[in-house]
Chains A and B, each alone.
Chain A
Amino acid sequence: MSSERPVFRHPQAAKNSAGYSRKDYEGAISTLCAGCGHDSTTNAIIQACFELAIEPHRVAKMSGIGCSSKTPAYFLGRSHGFNAVHGRMPAIAAGANMANRELLYIGISGDGDTASIGMGQFAHALRRNLNLNYICMNNGCYGLTKGQDSATADRGSAGKKGEPNPYSAIDLCKLAIELGASYVARGFSGDKQQLVPLIKGAFAHNGLAFIDVISPCVTFNNTSTSTKSYEYVREHIEATNTFDFIPLQQEILAHYPEGTSQEVVMHDGSIISLHKSEAGKEVTSRRLALDGLEEEKAKGRLLTGLLYVDPQSVDTHDIVNSTLRPLNTLGEADLCPGGATLAKLMDGWR
C-alpha cells in the first residue's frame, strides 16, 4: 500500500530555479519499516533533484523488485515510474532510454535484484554504458521475503536469524569498475551529506553512474553481528573523498572550496571538485580505484565516496550511433521508405 501525502504546501516554501519547491519532488508516503535506510536514500534523491532543479516530469524512475524497488513510489510523484520484474530493471531502462534519450533515467535496485537475479543485466548495462543513474540500495539481505542473506552479505555476518553467512560477498563497486563502469560511487544512507553530491554527480554523468548505497535493513539485518548494520557501517566507514558538485548553470559563479586537490569536468560541463583525504589518489584511474577498495578492505574498512569516474564516457546512444532526436518522436516520414522504394526492392528478388 502507498498513501498520498497531503497536498498542502507552505506558501513561503523555498523554490529552486525551475520554480519547484522540495515538496514537488516527493512521492507517496513510504510503507517501508520505520528507520529503513532506503527512506533516507529516497530523501537524498529528492534533495539532489530539488537542488539540481530537475523538472520532475523529465525523469523516468525504473526499478526491479524488492524493498528498494518499491521506493520509486516514494519520490518524484510527478514522474513516470516503472516497477518492473525482479532483476530486469537494467534491460527495461535500456529500452526506455533508447526510446527517448532526452529524459533522465534513475534506476533503483537492491542487492538481491542486482547481485543475484539481475547480475547478468547489471553487468551488461555497465558494458553498454547506458545513460542511467543506477542506485543499488544495499542491505545485505532479502527484506520482502523476510531476511535471507543476499550475495553482498559479508562472510561471517549474521542477521536476525543468527546464522553466519558462509559465502563470500560480492563487492558491487569493484565489479562495476572491472566491468567498465564509467562512474562508480559508494554511499551510506546514514550520511546524506556525502550521498546527495554523489547522486548529483551521477545525474551529470553521461553513461552509467553506479552508486552502491549501504542502506541498513532495520528489521532483519541491523543486529550486532551484521556488517550491514547502522552501527557497524558507521564505525567502519572510510571516506575516500568528500566533494562538491557544481552544476553547469552555476559554473561561472562557482567558488572552488579551499584544499581542492582534483577537479573533474563532467560531460555536461558540471564540475566535481574533490577534497581528498590523501594526496595522489586519482579518481579517474580505474587501477587506483580498485587498489583503494582492496587496501581498505584489507584493513576491515569500507571505502565510500566517489571511487571512479571517466569524464570522457560515451553512452549507449553514441556507441550505436543513434539519432540525437528522441526515437519515440519519429513518424512515418522518417521511418518508412514508402511504396515506390518497396517496388524497387521487389526486383531484387526476381
Chain B
Amino acid sequence: MNNIARTNDFVVRFANVNGSGSASANNLFAKAIFRMGVPVSPKNIFPSNIQGLPTWYEVRVSDRGYLARRGGYDLAVAVNGQTLLRDYLDLPPGGYFLYDSTRELSADFDRKDVTLLPVPLTELCNTAFEHPKLRQLLKNIIYVGALASLLDMEFTVLTEAVERQYAKNAKLAGPNIKALELGHDYAATHLAGRCQLKVQRIDGVGERILVDGNTAFGLGALYGGATVVGWYPITPSTSVIEAFEKYCRKFRVEQDGGRRKVAILQAEDEMAALGIVIGASWNGARAFTATSGPGISLMGELLGLGYFAEIPAVVLNVQRAGPSTGMPTRTQQADILSSAYASHGDTKHPLLFPSDPRECFEMAADALDLAERLQTPVLVLSDLDLGMNDNLSPPFTWDDGRRYDRGKVLSHDDLEQRQEKWGRYLDVDGDGICYRTYPGTHPAKGSYFTRGTSHNEYSGYTEDNVIYQTGMERLTRKWQTAKSLVPGPVLAMRDATSPLGAIFVGSSAAAAFEAFDLLAEKGIVINAMRLRAFPFADEVYRFIKAHRQVFVIEQNRDAQLRTLLVNEGDVDPAKLPPVLHFDGLPITATTICAQIEALLSSNRQTPTQDGGRR
C-alpha cells in the first residue's frame, strides 16, 4: 500500500457533530500550522442547525500558498458516528483515518488502501477528566494532540496557543494542555511512523494574519466612522454586526459617563434595517447595514428610494446560496444581479468586491466614503466563504492622515456666503453630483423636501416629462463619475500575446489563480483580471477586446457577472464563456481547470467562422 507522503501540502478533514465544541479545537489545529509559518486555509462546512447535525472542517495546508478549497482530503479525523462510514469511504487510496477506537469499527470498514489511526478518545478522556461537560470539549483537544504527534508538529506551538487563549482563565489552560499531552503521548507510543503527512516550519506566512472577512467588515466600518447601524439577523452576515459591536464596546465608549459613540438598532426586518440607515445618512451620520440575499430582496424598495432621492447608504452583503432561503450556511456569489439592479425602475448601484479580509476592511471604510461622495447606496459583496471562514490575509493598515470624505455637503457658512440660489438637485459641477444639506443647519437657508417621487432641481414636486427625464440623465452622468471613483480592476498578465483571459471577483480569486498555475503547466496561458467594483472601468472592456476568449469565473448558476459584463459594455457574449460553480461549497482550482480545458477542447472541435482568430 502506498501511503500519501507529503510535507506541508495536504488536506485534513474533521468530521464532527455541530454544537459539540469542535470548532475551537479545530481552530487550534489550523492556528498552530499558521504559527509554524505554513500557509493554511480552514473552511467550515456546517449545517443550518444549532446542535446535533454533521459538520465538517477542512484544513488545507499549502507551502505554495494555495488558499482555495482543494477538494478531497488526505486525512480524516472522524469523530461523528453519523458520517463515519462516508468519511472513511471518501478517502483517497493511501489516505489516513483517525477515529475514536473506544468502539471498534464495524466490518464495513474493510479498505486495504487506507491507514487506520485508532485513538481511544473517549476512553482517554473519561479516564483523565471527571467533569462531564469538560469531557466533551477535551475529547476534541485530545485528537489535536494526537495529530501534533502524527504530523510532527511543534508541540510548544500548541501549548502556547492554549495558554494565550486562556490567558484570562488559567483554570481552563491546565486541562486543555493535559488533553493535548494525552493525545500526543498516545499517538507517539502507539502510532509512531504510521503517518507520512508532515508539517514542517517554514517562512511562508510573513506578515499575514488569519481572520474572517466579517470581523474585517465590522472593523472597517468602525474605522470608516459609521455611527448608526440598522440590522436584522441573517446568516452569514450576523457576525459582521457582532464584530462591529464588539469593537464599539472597546473603542467607542466616552470617557466620562460611559455613553457610546454609536447607535446600533436591531430592526424588525431588513426593510427597517435599511430605513434606519437611510434616515441616518440623510441626517448626516455614517450608517450601514449587513445582510444576505433575502435581505437584499426586502431592501429593494428602499434601495430605489436611496438611488432616486440620492441618499448615501452602505450595505454589506455577505452572500449565501439561494434562491429563497436556499442553503443559508453555504456559499455563493449569486446576488450580483439582484444587488447591481436592486429595486424598481431604472436603478443601478455601485458594487465593491473584496477578495480577502484586508479588502473587506478597506472596502467597508471606502464604501462609507463612496456612498457619501456619490450620494447613493453602495453595496459591498462578500460571501460566506470569505465572511465566516478564517482567511489568510495581508495585515490591515490605516493612514492617520486619512480624512473621511463627507462629499458635497453645505455648512451653515457655505449657505451664508452663497450668492446664487441653491438647489438640492442642481448639478453645479457637471459631475452629476449635487450639494446637499443636513437638517438643522441654517435657520433660513438650505431646507428642502426629500421625496421618492419626481422632483425638479430645487427638490420641488414635478410630473413634468422633460424635467423628469433630465433628472434621470443626470443620474447617468453621476454613474459615469462613479466609474472614476470606484477601485479599478487588478490585472495579472502572464503573457501579453496569449489569446486567453479570465475575469472573476471576490472569493473566486484564490481558486482562479491556482487554476492558472495548473493550466500553465499544461501550456495554457491565461491572463487574469480581478474586478473590484461595478461600474466596470473602461479598462475591463479593453482587456476583453485584447483577448480572443475571456473566461468569466463565478460561483452561481446563471453567470451573473458575465450577464452584467455583457449588459454594461460593448462586448460579444460569445467571447465570454462562463466557468460556473454553484454547489454551495467554495470553488476549487480543479473545477476551473476542468471547465476551461473542456471549453478549449470544444473550441478545437467547432472552430468559429473566422477560424478561431478573433
Q: Hey, which bits of chain A sit against chain B, CB under 8 A?
A: 1-2, 55-58, 60, 62, 72-73, 77-85, 88, 90-100, 102-103, 120-121, 123-124, 128, 316-317, 320-325, 327-328, 330-332, 334-339, 341-343, 345-346, 349-350
Given contacts A88-B272, A91-B230, A124-B268, are A335 and B439 in contact (CB under 8 A)? no
Q: Which residue of B has the minimal Cβ distance to A81?
A: B449
* Stretch of B86-94, B110-118, B275-283, B598-606 at the chain-chain interface: B275-283
Is residue B263 within 8 Å, beta carbon to beta carbon, of the partner chain?
Answer: yes
Assess whether B227 is in contact with A324, with CB atoms less than 8 Å apart.
Answer: no
Given contacts A323-B254, A327-B228, are A317 and B450 in contact (CB under 8 A)? no
> In whole angstroms, what is the CA distance A9 to B125 when docked?
88
Q: What is the CB-to-nearest-CB distance from A216 to chain B, in angstroms, rounded to a whole number?
A: 25
For A92, what are the chain B residues with a Cβ–Cβ distance below 8 Å? 275-276, 278-279, 282
For B265, what are the chain A residues with a Cβ–Cβ distance below 8 Å? 94, 98, 128, 316, 320
Assess whether A323 is in contact with B271, with CB atoms less than 8 Å apart.
Answer: no
Most chain A CB within a 10 A radius of its CB, from B34, B258, B279: B279
For A124, what are the chain B residues with a Cβ–Cβ distance below 8 Å? 267-268, 272
Assess whether A336 is in contact with B280, with CB atoms less than 8 Å apart.
Answer: no
Q: What is the CB-to-nearest-CB distance from B127 to chain A, in angstroms, rounded to a whole number?
A: 35
> In whole angstroms, what is the CA distance A43 to B121 when docked?
78
Q: What is the CB-to-nearest-CB distance from B284 to chain A, in angstroms, rounded to a whole number?
A: 4
Given contacts A91-B267, A91-B271, A95-B275, are A330 and B280 in contact (CB under 8 A)? no
Assess whether B227 is in contact with A328, with CB atoms less than 8 Å apart.
Answer: yes
Is residue B441 within 8 Å, beta carbon to beta carbon, of the partner chain?
Answer: yes
* Stretch of B137-145, B396-404, B516-524, B580-588 at the chain-chain interface: B396-404
Question: Number of A-B pairs whose CB atoms are under 8 Å?
Answer: 228
Listed A/B pairs (29) with beta-carbon separation below 8 Å: A55-B443, A62-B279, A79-B439, A80-B438, A80-B440, A80-B449, A82-B279, A84-B275, A85-B305, A88-B272, A91-B271, A92-B282, A95-B277, A95-B279, A98-B228, A99-B227, A99-B280, A99-B281, A124-B268, A323-B260, A328-B283, A331-B225, A336-B222, A336-B398, A339-B399, A345-B396, A346-B396, A349-B211, A350-B209
Assess whether B285 is in contact with A328, with CB atoms less than 8 Å apart.
Answer: yes
Q: Which residue of B has the minimal Cβ distance to A120?
A: B268
For A72, what are the chain B residues with a Cβ–Cβ distance below 8 Å? 449
Q: Which residue of A has the minimal Cβ distance to B302?
A: A85
Q: What is the CB-to-nearest-CB distance from B367 to chain A, in angstroms, rounded to a whole number?
A: 15
> In whole angstroms, what is the CA distance A100 to B440 when docked?
9
> In whole angstroms, what is the CA distance A338 to B400 when docked?
6
Q: Which residue of B has the minimal Cβ distance to A60?
A: B439
Given contacts A84-B452, A321-B258, A341-B251, are A91 and B443 in contact (CB under 8 A)? no
Q: Hey, which bits of chain B sit against chain A, CB under 8 A?
A: 34-35, 209-211, 219, 222-223, 225, 227-228, 230, 251-252, 254, 258-265, 267-269, 271-285, 287, 301-302, 305, 395-400, 402-404, 437-444, 447-453, 460-463
Most chain A CB within a 10 A radius of its CB, from B259, B261, B449: B449
> In whole angstroms, what is the CA distance A102 to B281 when docked?
16
For B227, what are the chain A residues with a Cβ–Cβ distance below 8 Å? 98-99, 327-328, 330, 335
For B264, what are the chain A residues with a Cβ–Cβ distance below 8 Å? 320
Assess whether B282 is in contact with A82, with CB atoms less than 8 Å apart.
Answer: yes
For B396, what are the chain A residues with a Cβ–Cβ distance below 8 Å? 342, 345-346
> In whole angstroms, what is the CA distance A90 to B282 when docked?
14
For A334, what are the chain B residues with a Cβ–Cβ distance below 8 Å? 261
Assess whether B275 is in contact with A328, with CB atoms less than 8 Å apart.
Answer: no
Given contacts A81-B450, A323-B254, A350-B210, are A98 and B397 in contact (CB under 8 A)? no
Assess whether B404 is in contact with A337, with CB atoms less than 8 Å apart.
Answer: no
Q: Which residue of B has the minimal Cβ distance to A62?
A: B279
Q: What is the CB-to-nearest-CB distance from A109 to chain B, in angstroms, rounded to a whole number?
A: 13
Assess whether B210 is in contact with A337, with CB atoms less than 8 Å apart.
Answer: no
Assess whether B439 is in contact with A98, with CB atoms less than 8 Å apart.
Answer: no
Query: Which of A81, A82, A102, A121 has a CB less than 8 Å from the CB of B440?
Result: A102
Q: What is the CB-to-nearest-CB distance from A122 to chain B, in angstroms, rounded to a whole number?
A: 10
Assess whether B443 is in contact with A342, with CB atoms less than 8 Å apart.
Answer: no
Assess whether B276 is in contact with A83, with CB atoms less than 8 Å apart.
Answer: no
For B277, what are the chain A residues with a Cβ–Cβ distance below 8 Å? 95
Assess whether B209 is in contact with A322, with CB atoms less than 8 Å apart.
Answer: no
Assess whether A84 is in contact with B305, with CB atoms less than 8 Å apart.
Answer: yes
Given contacts A83-B452, A120-B269, A342-B223, are A98 and B280 in contact (CB under 8 A)? yes
For A55, what are the chain B residues with a Cβ–Cβ distance below 8 Å? 443
For B259, what are the chain A residues with a Cβ–Cβ distance below 8 Å? 321-324
Q: What is the CB-to-nearest-CB distance from B439 to chain A, in angstroms, rounded to a whole number?
A: 4
For A349, what are the chain B residues with a Cβ–Cβ distance below 8 Å? 209-211
Q: Which residue of B has the minimal Cβ distance to A93?
A: B279
Query: Which of A57, A94, A100, A330 has a CB less than 8 Å from the CB of B275?
Result: A94
Given contacts A55-B443, A99-B285, A342-B397, are A85 and B301 in contact (CB under 8 A)? yes
For B462, what are the chain A residues with a Cβ–Cβ distance below 8 Å? 1
Q: What is the CB-to-nearest-CB distance from A125 to chain B, in angstroms, rounded to a whole number?
A: 9
Q: What is the CB-to-nearest-CB distance from B515 to chain A, in angstroms, rounded to a whole number?
A: 28
For B35, what are the chain A residues with a Cβ–Cβ distance below 8 Å? 350
> In whole angstroms, what is the CA distance A295 to B71 when docked?
70
Given contacts A83-B451, A323-B254, A339-B399, are A91 and B222 in contact (CB under 8 A)? no
Query: Which of A121, A328, A342, A343 has a CB less than 8 Å from the CB of B284?
Result: A328
For B275, what are the chain A residues with a Cβ–Cβ distance below 8 Å? 84-85, 88, 90-92, 94-95, 121
Assess whether B448 is in contact with A332, with CB atoms less than 8 Å apart.
Answer: no
Q: What is the CB-to-nearest-CB distance from A179 to chain B, in angstroms, rounded to a whole number?
A: 12
Assess whether B284 is in contact with A95, with CB atoms less than 8 Å apart.
Answer: no
For B254, what are the chain A residues with a Cβ–Cβ distance below 8 Å? 323
- Given contacts A91-B274, A121-B271, list 12 more A-B pairs with CB under 8 A: A57-B442, A82-B450, A83-B452, A84-B452, A88-B272, A95-B275, A99-B227, A120-B272, A322-B259, A335-B225, A336-B398, A349-B210
